[in-house]
Structure 1
Amino acid sequence: MTSTPRTRKPFYWEKRKRVGNYMLEDPLGEGAFGRVRYGRHIPTNEKVAVKIVNKRVLIKSGIARKSLRREGNVLQRLDHPNIIKLYESMTTRTYYYLVFDLAESGSFLEFLIQKRCLLEDEARLVLREIVSAVDHIHTSGFVHRDLRLENLLLDSTGHIKITGFGLCMLQKEAQTPTNRCGSPAYAAPEVFCNRTHGTGVDIWSIGVCMFAMLMGHLPFLPKKTAKLPELHSTVLAGVTLPGFLSKGTFMRS
């Protein structure tokens, strides 16, 4: 007689449960190292987002350990209306929990896909919030190193919340040669070469996001089979801006 192997139910089947002062509720998303669920702060009834990371993942992956540690350490030192806020972290025997404010309108990328592209005035409003938040990151001594559309969320009133701080580091750390970081489609030329880099890599990534908002696609579209040197050459070749954009659009933004 053969036995049927037990399989883990998808996380969206998991029941509500209490962790600390929070009730974990419906699933919100799933990332590289963990999953995210809606949560509710029991004393105040405030809605939150809770990232859940299994400790076994951290034992197996040094990258995951560094990412989780960086994210927590950096967000504790940042305070800006357009940066996701970390309320607290908790641990149990099996899991780590990070509690964030809830960006109720979800992914900016999904919003952009639905709209296809933004008008110049719309993009300018979004970019002002991104630039303001990134300026706060830089003046606090950090470089984000992974700015991309996937790391932009929208709160209930449609304002930007920057997230994805797992690759963030101190500016002085980025001044030494380091491994490539972030998504190649958003990466500055110096990142491809493993050269020292600073706040300029974030400015480059903002420019890539701005292009995508206005055009509806990324300026440098890597093929699935493309190798990094090929993409690097594409980036160095630059892009031609279409004539329908107002003169000085990128400069004014």
Structure 2
Amino acid sequence: MAHCNVMHSSSSNEVNLGPSHNPHAKPTDFDFLAVIGKGTFGKVLLAKAKIDNKFYAVKVLQKKVILKKKEQRNIMAERNVLLKSLSHPFLVGLHYSFQTPEKLYFVLDYVNGGELFYHLQKEQTFGEPRARFYTAEVASAIGYLHSLNIVYRDLKPENILLDFEGHVVLTDFGLCKEGIDTDATTSTFCGTPEYLAPEVLKKQPYDRTVDWWGLGAVLYEMVYGLPPFYSSDVAQMYDGILHRPLSLSGGSTVLCDLLQGLLEKEPQRRIGAIADFLEVKSHAFFTCINWDDLYHRKVQPPFNPNVRGPADMQHIDPEFTNEMVSGSVGCTPEFASSLATSSANAFNGFSYVSTEDYL
């Protein structure tokens, strides 16, 4: 996997932000309106640019937290797909990035159709045609990332948003509901246990096939309402991911065949192991998908979020939006330390556990 370039020079607090760096931008260019996501590194804020009154999602990261440890930088480097200039219809767009002595700012598309997870919770399950549409759009984005040697690694419903028309947008808001322990090393995985592939759990080296497992886990949850191998007992869930056969109750033959292939415990036998995205898209489950039309956003989404305009926040979790914006943006050194104490209860439904505790 290619490492994105988040480098810290010891002589200054400057971070190399890659091709997206805009040296003229500054926090006062924006009116910050609401918190729309949060995590250990910082927050995602809804912001309105003063120059053109357009809305953006601005991801604000604390340098102090990121640069605290060398390992932290490695995690950041591995995960921060934003630092590559990416362009794909189902990936969140990065407009530019800038920095202050304390913080990094990433100015992103504001996507306000809501998390896929949010809609799934409301409806419990999706029918196969709707699940197929979302899975195909996500697979298209994953295939593109793989073509650039980027392994996404953290596919889960919270990282899949819908735009105002109902198309999928894969984000690097992995930040939104995720913690990285301040003592984390690259061997301590972080992420939501439900969606971790067996090889990640076993701390084995992983490759792009980890994303096809993630795709299978998301498709499974869309159709059955819970992640595969789900158990409220985390040790039991890990045991299921590592050892138990997949249980499929109902669903078409082609759906079950695809799920068996994506949720194959041996990475080298998983669908996608040989020809990557080509193998996934040629599966019988996707026979009715015209991949070219899909890529060009010509396929009508099965659900319209009916957002009333760019500032409409009806689909954003009030857990975030009820929070005050002040402090996320200005120079407040206490913000970084307060994050450490607040992160334990800040993430609804998020948990991560060191493998040693369970294996």
TM-score (norm 2): 0.56
**Residue in structure 2 matched with residue 237 of structure 1 by the alignment:** 244
Q: Is the 2:82–2:94 Cα contact (8 Å) retained in structure 1?
A: no
Unaligned runs of 5+ in 2: 1-25, 176-185, 259-284, 287-359
Q: 1:182 to 1:27 in 2, by over 3 A?
A: closer
**Residue in structure 2 matched with residue 192 of structure 1 by the alignment:** 201
Q: 1:198 to 1:72 in 2, by over 3 A?
A: closer
Q: Is the 1:70–1:165 Cα contact (8 Å) retained in structure 2?
A: no
**Residue in structure 2 matched with residue 146 of structure 1 by the alignment:** 154
Cα distance in 1, alignment partners of residues 34 and 81 from structure 2? 27
Pairing partner for 2:95 from 75, 87, 96: 87
Q: Is the 1:28–1:38 Cα contact (8 Å) retained in structure 2?
A: yes
What is the aligned residue count?
Answer: 223
Report SS of the residue matched to 2:55.
strand
**Residue in structure 1 matched with residue 226 of structure 2 by the alignment:** 217
Q: Look up the equivalent residue of 1:82 and give its one-letter code.
A: F
Cα distance in 2, alignment partners of residues 84 and 107 from structure 1? 13
Report SS of the residue matched to 2:253.
coil
Q: 1:84 to 1:67 in 2, by over 3 A?
A: farther
Deviates more, 1:85-94 or 1:198-207: 85-94
Q: 1:19 offset after TM fit, Å?
A: 1.4
Cα distance in 1, alignment partners of residues 159 and 190 from structure 2? 14
Pairing partner for 2:37 from 29, 35, 44: 29
Please list the CA deviations of residues 126-148 of structure 1 after superposition, one character each: whole Å capped at 9, or x if unmatched. Answer: 11100000000111111111111
Q: Look up the equivalent residue of 1:160 and give its one-letter code.
A: V
Q: 1:206 to 1:97 in 2, by over 3 A?
A: same
Q: Is the 1:79–1:85 Cα contact (8 Å) retained in structure 2?
A: yes
Pairing partner for 1:52 from 51, 55, 60: 60
Q: Are 1:105 and 2:113 counterparts?
A: yes
Please list the CA deviations of residues 144-165 of structure 1 after superposition, one character each: whole Å capped at 9, or x if unmatched. Answer: 1111111111111111111237
Cα distance in 2, alignment partners of residues 183 and 49 from structure 1? 23
1:171-186 equivalences under 5 Å are 180=189, 182-186=191-195
Q: 1:233 offset after TM fit, Å?
A: 2.8
Unaligned runs of 5+ in 1: 1-17, 168-176
TM-score (norm 1): 0.78
Please list the CA deviations of residues 75-124 of structure 1 after superposition, one character each: whole Å capped at 9, or x if unmatched. Answer: 43321111111111111133221111011112111111011110111111
Instruction: Quote the RMSD (CA, aligned, Å).
Output: 2.5
Q: 1:182 offset after TM fit, Å?
A: 3.4
Cα distance in 2, alignment partners of residues 69 and 43 from structure 1? 32
Whose strand fraction is larger, Structure 1's or Structure 2's?
A: 1
Report SS of the residue matched to 1:143.
coil
Cα distance in 2, alignment partners of residues 154 and 42 from structure 1? 26
**Residue in structure 2 matched with residue 249 of structure 1 by the alignment:** 255
Q: 1:238 to 1:77 in 2, by over 3 A?
A: farther
Deviates more, 1:136-145 or 1:191-200: 191-200
Considering Cα pairs closer than 8 Å and 6+ residues apart, tell me whether 1 or 2 has the greater RCO: 2
**Residue in structure 1 matched with residue 322 of structure 2 by the alignment:** none
Report SS of the residue matched to 2:35.
strand
Q: 1:208 to 1:75 in 2, by over 3 A?
A: same
